[in-house]
């Protein structure tokens, strides 16, 4: 449960930038979206809330939201970038449901053993990405039914 200062319509998601009607609506649209979304999907939802908001503004806003860590890029789908707001604060990775696009935070599986292996190869690790794919409980049920 986000505190007020962290609410979708609050300003912290955009850092010190000016708050505008469009940015408020975009942040709220993200907050109402469960799972991953493309810019185009988000723009559609935004347009339903505020007819006048242009696509370029959505692109610019999401870039800011990503910069502040409020949303994360979690891959791509059909040539479009995928974003999600999973809400985790600390270092984490993602569990992606390939059925419905739902995103859950996942713990980091990298341990000392792996770092050692990298060192053995002469590498100095600086960053990493881990993404798990699967079916969430609901989609498993759906699969059994269908």
Partner DNA sequence: TTGTATGCAAATGGTTTGCACCTAT
Partner DNA sequence: ATAGGTGCAAACCATTTGCATACAA
CB of 33 to a second copy, least distance (A): 19
Question: Which residues lie closer than 8 Å to 141 by C-beta, 6 or more apart?
Answer: none
Would you count residue 71 as binding DNA (CB under 7 A)? no
Would you count residue 55 as binding DNA (CB under 7 A)? yes
109 binds, among DNA, a second copy, none (CB under 5 to 8 A by kind): a second copy
Would you count residue 113 as binding a second copy (CB under 8 A)? yes
> Residues for the chain: how many in total?
146
Of 2-10, 52-60, 118-126, 137-145, the window that binds DNA (rule: CB under 7 A) is 52-60
58 C-beta neighbours (distance < 10 Å), count: 24
Rounded CA-CA distance 120/135 in Å is 36
């Amino acid at each position: 449960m986000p505190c007020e200062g962290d609410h979708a319509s609050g300003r912290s998601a955009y850092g010190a930038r000016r708050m505008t009607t469009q940015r408020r609506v975009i942040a709220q649209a993200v907050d109402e979206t469960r799972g991953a979304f493309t810019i185009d999907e988000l723009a559609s939802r935004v347009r339903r809330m505020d007819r006048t908001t242009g696509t370029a503004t959505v692109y610019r806003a999401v870039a800011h939201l990503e910069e502040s860590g409020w949303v994360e890029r979690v891959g791509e789908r059909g040539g479009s970038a995928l974003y999600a707001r999973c809400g985790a604060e600390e270092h984490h990775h993602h569990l992606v449901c390939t059925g419905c696009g739902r995103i859950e935070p996942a713990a980091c599986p990298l341990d000392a053993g792996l770092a050692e292996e990298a060192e053995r190869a002469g590498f100095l690790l600086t960053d990493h990405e881990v993404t798990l794919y699967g079916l969430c409980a609901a989609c498993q049920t759906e699969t059994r039914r269908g």
